[in-house]
């Protein structure tokens, strides 16, 4: 096999995700060797997070109680807005998930949808209007935006106090500083921390390996882990000997979007593995012709002490954390102590 994970990344990108070289073909992941669910009976002595949906449900129930209190006691309905441009199917799906989750617990949802040819000035006006609207407690800029739009510029316009995604430079900067706390933390990193906390995994002094350094997951997550006194290593395309580094890690968090990238031979016995990635692969047994898989190959289950599934792991928790951030914003704007 290629000696570097990032070499494999390049092979797969250049050769239609899984490549055509003999090395990559041997690792091709299809519905024949990815089970529909992890067969936990094969590894009865192992511990798993079997249902991120259950953890997310518990969070949503707590948020729903807070929403009801704000409505009934103060006449305030927590609400957020999503600004999106274009009609990409995956983007529309993400937005619908957020709307459905908000509707279920009584949080207001407002959508500002534009065509692909929207101008930057139009988006700026929209974000400014939402920022000035006291009934809107959170603003999300749904990525990606069309190429004529500066994502950095538009995201920077979202006020820190309404930045429920946690991407405003002020919030990110506060996250990077010791003894400082941002108003909001990105939702997926929060979901990863919740998984660790829920399973009583203390990372103080532990070696944690984060594969991926995006502004959405890898970078903010690494900062959060360091604030928890973990020894954090980030892997990116220029990292050398990453396999040997991974084998030393007590916790491995993968967020690159390459199906089945992490294999069992790359982790040490008993490691905790959190799979953030999600990718569609062909599966003729499915009515849709595709299925969702993560960055972690199922064979990792035989060696890890804990592994999150895809789907049903980090994803549902990320949406739950978003709703929690909306409630937090509404409480802060009303002078209340966040619950």
Q: What number of other Cβ atoms are within 10 A of residue 128's Cβ?
A: 12
H/E element holding 198? helix 187-198
Alpha-carbon distance 73 to 112, whole Å?
Answer: 29
Task: Characterize the bridge pairing of strands 306-307 and 290-293.
Answer: unpaired
Distances (CA, A) of 261 to 12, 41, 267: 10, 24, 12
- Can you name the residues that pair with 111 across neighbouring β-strands? 82
Non-local CB neighbours of 214 within 8 Å, separated by 6+ positions: 255
Give one word for 83, left, alpha or beta, with left for phi > 0 and alpha for psi -120 to 50. beta
Alpha-carbon distance 293 to 194, whole Å?
Answer: 21
Query: CA angle 150-142-156, nearest 5°?
Result: 45
Q: What number of other Cβ atoms are within 10 A of residue 241's Cβ?
A: 9
Alpha-carbon distance 151 to 189, whole Å?
Answer: 20
Q: Would you give the DSSP letter of residue 177? A: S
Q: What number of other Cβ atoms are within 10 A of residue 42's Cβ?
A: 10
Burial per residue of 217-226, b for 16 or more beta-carbon CB atoms within 10 angstroms, e otherwise: bbbbbbbbbe
User: Catalytic site residues?
Assistant: 98, 142, 165
């Amino acid at each position: 096999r290629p000696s570097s994970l990032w070499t494999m990344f390049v092979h797969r990108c250049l050769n239609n995700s899984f490549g055509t070289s003999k090395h990559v073909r041997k690792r091709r992941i299809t519905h024949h060797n990815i089970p529909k669910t992890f067969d936990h009976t094969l590894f009865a002595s192992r511990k798993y997070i079997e249902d991120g949906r259950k953890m997310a449900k518990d969070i949503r129930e707590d948020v729903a109680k807070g929403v009801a209190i704000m409505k009934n006691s103060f006449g305030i309905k927590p609400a957020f807005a999503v600004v999106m441009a274009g009609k990409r199917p995956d983007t529309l799906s993400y937005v619908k998930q957020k709307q459905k989750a908000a509707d279920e617990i009584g949080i207001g949802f407002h959508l500002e949808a534009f065509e692909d040819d929207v101008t930057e000035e139009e988006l700026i006006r929209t974000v400014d209007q939402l920022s000035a609207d006291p009934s809107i407690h959170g603003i999300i800029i749904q990525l990606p935006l069309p190429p004529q739009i500066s994502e950095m510029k538009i995201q920077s316009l979202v006020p820190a106090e309404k930045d429920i995604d946690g991407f405003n430079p002020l919030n990110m900067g506060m996250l990077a500083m010791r003894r400082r706390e941002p108003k909001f933390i990105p939702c997926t990193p929060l979901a990863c921390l919740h998984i660790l906390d829920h399973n009583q995994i203390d990372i103080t002094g532990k070696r944690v390996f984060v594969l991926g350094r995006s502004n959405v997951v890898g970078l903010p997550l690494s900062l959060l882990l360091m604030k928890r006194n973990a020894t954090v290593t980030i892997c990116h395309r220029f990292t050398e000997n990453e396999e040997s580094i991974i084998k030393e890690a007590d916790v491995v968090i993968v967020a690159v979007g390459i199906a089945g990238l992490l294999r069992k031979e790359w982790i040490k016995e008993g490691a905790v593995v959190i799979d953030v990635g999600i990718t569609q692969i062909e599966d003729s047994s499915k009515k849709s012709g595709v299925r969702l898989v993560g960055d972690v190959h199922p064979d990792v289950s035989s060696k890890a002490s804990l592994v999150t599934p895809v789907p049903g792991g980090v994803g549902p928790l990320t949406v739950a954390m978003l709703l929690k951030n909306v409630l937090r914003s509404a409480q802060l704007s009303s002078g209340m102590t966040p619950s």
